[in-house]
Amino acid sequence: MAVETDQTKSNDTPIKSDASRANHPNKSIKKHRKLKVFGLIVFVLLLVPLLVAGWYGFVPGLSTLMGATKPRDLGVRYSAADLASYKQKTAVVLNDFTSAPDNPTKPGKKTIFADPKTVEGLNLTQSEITAAINDLGWLWMPLKNVQVRLGNDVVEISGNLNATYASEVVNFIGGVGYSQSDVDKAASWGKRFANNAAVYIKATGSVQNDQLSFRLQQIQIGRYNVPQDIASRVLSTGTSNSIARTQHLEVQSAKLQPGSLVFSGTYPTTVYVKR
């Protein structure tokens, strides 16, 4: 019986020389490198859209890290004194909607606005307005952490989007120029992808005899600049409807000037707010 020796093995199985290894790289190493390159490509293809979405404010957590949920600082500060000054100037009182009496002119409905007051040249500072908005406590409020900065016929607003009750807000103000179906789709998208995103709005405007003169300059949600034709239609229609549907509100004039709003007309001093 033949005995297999190391020499026999070496004769039957050729051993590659160092030169041969240099000229024919190991196939497994090549395969491993290809898998690494493919993995990097897949990683980039997944990461880039994710980072873009995070930059624009559509990915919770990541958007926060990238600053897409941090509202633009307009430099407007307010204190308890500003809120007290607003209340003293306007005499507006906010009550819980659960205590609202029946509306005498709309059977089956509750009163929202009451006790009208007429003023001439009421001057409200941007800090007082900012304080009042943040103190409102309205459940359906579409913005939170709000700042309002005023200039010559110019208003800038920043804050965080609250899309939770977007459909309810649109119905409440009487529509924004789009069908209910379109509004519901947009609201659903906002709740899923843009809730709490930073919002910035800049526009010029004034009101004379309840007629709104409005021109949108910019609206940004997260890092995304909303097309002006769509945004202008929504904001202009929504604002006009809000003025028309607010009982006891008649705007003789509303003039924006650096740091303040000058209002002449009639407005309700009692407001019942859903909380």
In terms of domains, do 34 and 108 share one?
no
pLDDT, position 4: 44
Given this model, what pLDDT does residue 193 score?
Answer: 55
Which among 75, 53, 46 has a CA at the least distance from the CA of 223? 53
Residues paired with residue 208 on neighbouring β-strands, in sequence order: 211, 253
**Residue at 225 is within a domain:** yes
Are both 25 and 154 inside the same structural domain? no
Q: Is residue 69 part of a domain?
A: no
149 with 115, same domain: the answer is: yes
User: What per-residue confidence (pLDDT) applies to 192?
Assistant: 63
Chain-centre distance for alpha carbon 189:
12
The pLDDT score that the predictor gives to residue 165 is 80
Say if pTM beats, i.e. exceeds, 0.85: no
Helix (H, G, I), strand (E, B) or coil at 127: helix
Q: Three-state SS across 200-252?
A: EEEEEEEEECCEEEEEEEEEEECCEECCHHHHHHHHHHHHHHHHHHCCCCEEE
Reduced to 3 DSSP states, what percent helix, strand and coil does the chain have, rounded to the nearest 5? 40, 30, 30
Say if residue 41 is in the same domain as residue 166.
no
Same domain, 151 and 269: yes
CA distance 270 to 117: 10
Same domain, 25 and 102: no
Q: Which two tokens mark 152?
A: 């010559």
* pLDDT tens for each residue of 3-20: 444 444 444 444 444 444
Same-domain check for residues 219 and 92 = yes
- Number of domains within the chain: 2
Residues 97 and 192 in one domain: yes
Q: Is residue 34 part of a domain?
A: yes
Q: What is the pLDDT of residues 133-190, one digit of tens each?
A: 999 988 888 889 999 999 999 999 999 988 888 777 777 777 667 677 776 777 676 6
Mean pLDDT of the chain: 77
Binned at pLDDT 50, 70 and 90, residue 254 comes out as very high
Same domain, 37 and 87: no
Q: Does the residue 194 lie in any domain?
A: yes
Is residue 242 a part of any domain in this protein?
yes
Q: Is residue 7 part of a domain?
A: no
Token pair 């297999």: residue: 4
Same-domain check for residues 48 and 88? no
Strands 93-96 and 260-273: parallel
- Asked whether residue 48 falls in the same domain as residue 147, the answer is no
Residues of the domain holding 175: 80-273
- Whether 112 and 181 map to the same domain: the answer is yes
Give the C-alpha separation, 153 to 130, whole Å. 17
Q: pLDDT over 70 for what percent of the chain?
A: 70
Q: Is residue 228 part of a domain?
A: yes
pLDDT at 27 over 70: no
Q: What's the pLDDT at 55? A: 45
Instruction: Give domain status of residue 68, yes or no.
Output: no
